[in-house]
Amino acid sequence: MQNKPGRKLDVGLRILGGWVGLNFLALGIGFLTLSEVFATAFFMEPARAVGINALRGDMGALFLGMSLFCMLGVVTVHRRLLLIPIVFLSLIIVGRLTSVLMDDVPLVAGDALIAEFIMLGILLAAMFFTSGPAGQNYPPVTARSIFRQPIMVGLVLVLVAIVGIFASQRQIGMTLVRVIGKQLSSQDVLADLPDGLHVVMAGSGSPLPDSKRVQPCLAVIAGKAMYIVDSGPGSTLRLELMKLRLGDLKGVLLTHFHSDHIGDLGELILKRWANGANREPLEIFGPPGVETVMQGFNLAYSLDSQYRVAHHGPETVPPSGMGGVARPFSFPEGKEELVVIDADGLQITAFVVDHRPVEPAVGYRFDYKGRSLVISGDTLPCDSLRRQAAGADLLLHEALQPTMVRALSNVNREIGRTNVANISTDILDYHTFTEEAARIAQEAGVRRLVLYHTLPPLPVSVADKTFLGDAKKHYSGPIMVAVDGLGFSLPADNHKIVKKWFW
């Protein structure tokens, strides 16, 4: 504090350090009081409601603690206390970078990472470039030197804020309904996408329960036209949570009629009708058999539809738009492929796959403005798919990891669940192994392989590596294990394949 410029720097850095501390304080109070709101902003809302306990506790403590030592460091003479938030901030950054290296998902917290680097820089500068006692002269950390007036006033204010927020939860909830409700309703995911071909995984799992993957459902968007391939149980909710407007849905394409591919059709058809005041029933494309499926769903939902028309009126829910209409297609004699949709630059080709004893079973190829993606449906390795996938930008192939499924089967046999053990063994003979999918991708020369319909469930990402097994040895391109919320964009004006997070 010998000269003026030094003093200015000193005050400036301490103010900046205080600003960092206030940021942590806001996060800390936020996580403590409105845990899920803050968690949502960081894509970390608890998968199960009871996780709010850990959110409030752990996240609240982390940021409040960082904030406290940050403030003490800049307000009192104990500059060295800044070391505590510096260590934590560094560890947070290390953790994030670890995730970038380890986790094969789009980086959604890039902004947070940048902010953390800036804050780390400020704290380091504040610790090393501001004056204060050093070396032998460093005073002992005493209660008196810590609990000085500004700190006490701050603590009281924080307490008041926390109590205030808890006391006004009703009002905050109401405000959130208006603000978030408006934001959600006006959000138009399709409008924000560049012209091109896009695929979003609303359901990337299988019938076995997987907390990260519901049963198969893929949304394919070409320009502004959205189609759904398969409607596995649980997937309609996922589509809605991804803010895809179901009222705009053009049609549904079914690969085959196993429950995990059709189970949510009733819900999907209803949501599309109610959200868009559609006057035409939803078109459901599929190989022969789709008529039977639609007859059943239309019948099951006929009472519901009547109630809704009676209640909301035909303007809101036009009776002509209720339900779905089957659009069966068959392959001409000796052919294994058929263009089922050709409109607005989008061509959808259905092709035969081998999921015997399930017959018929098909896959779909989408071509739009020079970009292409292929969806396998459920199948064994098959030549028609190899041909259809030739040169595609993206191949979404079903995949089963036999070593893991066999291990699960053995476990079930050991504990006496013979039925489950037998089913696990049976499924080995009509799905494609991960390494086989990789070889198919290599042979077909696709640019990127995404494995979906994953068997067994992979509720923790560390299992993804086990799932892939030796697949990477067989395919020179990038392989990814699908997870609900993940999507890929194939813009029409370049050759990129962009990994995106839709949820």
Q: Residue 258 CB, nearest distance to another protein (Å)?
A: 17
Q: Residues 414, 416, 460, 462: which binds another protein (CB under 8 A)?
A: 414
Residue 406 sits in the site that holds another protein (CB under 8 A):
yes
Residue 413 sits in the site that holds another protein (CB under 8 A):
yes
Residue 407 sits in the site that holds another protein (CB under 8 A):
yes
Q: Residues 325, 380, 420, 492: which binds another protein (CB under 8 A)?
A: 380
Tell me the Ramachandran region of residue 225: left when phi exceeds 0, alpha when psi lies from -120 to 50, beta otherwise.
beta
The residues in 432-451 that bind another protein, with binding defined as CB under 8 A, are 433, 436, 439
**Residue 413 or 472 with smaller CB distance to another protein:** 413
- For 406, other C-beta atoms within 10 Å of its C-beta total 15
Q: Residues 58, 344, 383, 493: which binds another protein (CB under 8 A)?
A: 383
Judge contact between 230 and 247, C-beta under 8 A.
Answer: no
d(CA 205, CA 199): 16
**Residue 145 or 403 with smaller CB distance to another protein:** 403
Residue 402 sits in the site that holds another protein (CB under 8 A):
yes
Could you tell me which stretch among 43-51, 126-134, 252-260, 402-410 binds another protein (CB under 8 A)? Answer: 402-410
- For 23, other C-beta atoms within 10 Å of its C-beta total 16
Query: What sign does the CA torsion over 431, 435, 440, 445 have?
Result: positive
282 — phi, psi (to 5°)? -75, 135
Burial 316-342 (b: 16+ CB within 10 A, else e): ebbeebbbbebbbbebeeeebbbebbe
Q: Is 117 helix (H, G, I), strand (E, B) or coil?
A: helix
Q: Directed axis angle between helix 4-33 and helix 60-75, to 10°?
A: 160
Q: Residue 381 CB, nearest distance to another protein (Å)?
A: 4
Q: Residues 257, 329, 430, 503: which binds another protein (CB under 8 A)?
A: 430
Q: Residues 44, 428, 463, 492: which binds another protein (CB under 8 A)?
A: 428
- Give the type of residue at 193: L
Query: Strands 479-481 and 346-352: what pairing?
Result: unpaired
**Residue 333 or 414 with smaller CB distance to another protein:** 414
d(CA 292, CA 51): 43
**Residue 28 or 377 with smaller CB distance to another protein:** 377
Residue 165 sits in the site that holds another protein (CB under 8 A):
no
Residue 387 sits in the site that holds another protein (CB under 8 A):
no
Residue 416 sits in the site that holds another protein (CB under 8 A):
no
- Give the type of residue at 70: C
d(CA 282, CA 324): 4
Q: Residue 465 CB, nearest distance to another protein (Å)?
A: 17
Residue 429 sits in the site that holds another protein (CB under 8 A):
yes
Q: Residue 408 CB, nearest distance to another protein (Å)?
A: 12
Residue in the structure block whose two tokens are 């494609």: 432
- Give the type of residue at 140: P
**Residue 242 or 382 with smaller CB distance to another protein:** 382
**Residue 261 or 431 with smaller CB distance to another protein:** 431
Q: Is the peptide bond before 46 cis (omega within 30 degrees of 0)?
A: no
Q: Directed axis angle between helix 265-276 and helix 290-300, to 10°?
A: 60
Binding mask 23-62 for another protein (x = CB under 8 A): ----------------------------------------
Burial class (CB in 10 A: 0-12, 13-18, 19+), 283: middle
Residue 356 sits in the site that holds another protein (CB under 8 A):
yes
Residue 381 sits in the site that holds another protein (CB under 8 A):
yes
- Total interface residues for another protein by CB under 8 A: 20
**Residue 312 or 356 with smaller CB distance to another protein:** 356
Q: Is 260 a catalytic residue?
A: yes
Could you tell me which stretch among 20-28, 137-145, 196-204, 422-430 binds another protein (CB under 8 A)? Answer: 422-430
Q: Is 225 helix (H, G, I), strand (E, B) or coil?
A: strand
Catalytic residue among 210, 260, 367, 484: 260
Residue 359 sits in the site that holds another protein (CB under 8 A):
no
d(CA 257, CA 43): 34
- For 302, other C-beta atoms within 10 Å of its C-beta total 11
Binding residues for another protein, rule: CB under 8 A, are 354, 356, 380-383, 402-403, 406-407, 410, 413-414, 425, 428-430, 433, 436, 439
**Could you list the active site residues?**
260
